[in-house]
């Protein structure tokens, strides 16, 4: 597919057909990268997307325990000296 570079104010841009936007799942924001002399345009992925599902899966599999379970144990100093 061929596209023309057009002037947009002091910048330039490329008009992308609706079918391309839909096929690539591009919304209002994109990530741009340059690799060699190639421009890469990717959809922006929300940080932490999919975390809720991953945590649910971990809970179902019993893999959601503390890695440092003994770190929560209080010491004698915690019991006798520490005050809130």
Please enumerate in sequence order all residues whose Cβ is within 8 A of that of 10, keeping only pairs 6 or more positions apart, or say none: none
CATH of region 1-62, choose from 3.40.470.10, 2.60.40.3120, 3.30.565.10, 2.10.260.10: 2.10.260.10
Tokens matching residue 20: 């391309």
| 23-37: pLDDT as tens digits | 998 988 999 999 999
The domain limits of the chain are 1-62
**Helix count (H) and strand count (E) of the chain?**
3, 4
| 12-70: pLDDT as tens digits | 999 999 999 999 989 889 999 999 999 999 998 878 888 999 999 999 999 888 777 67
Host H or E run for residue 79: helix 76-80
- Per-residue pLDDT, 26: 92
């Amino acid at each position: 597919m061929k596209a023309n570079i057009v002037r947009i104010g002091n910048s330039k841009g490329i008009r992308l057909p609706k079918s391309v936007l839909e096929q690539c799942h591009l919304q209002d924001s994109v990530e741009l990268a340059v690799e060699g002399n190639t421009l890469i345009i990717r959809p922006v992925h929300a940080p932490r997307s999919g975390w809720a599902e991953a945590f649910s899966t971990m809970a179902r599999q019993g893999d959601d325990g503390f890695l440092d379970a003994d770190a929560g144990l209080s010491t004698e100093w915690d019991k006798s000296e520490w005050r809130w």
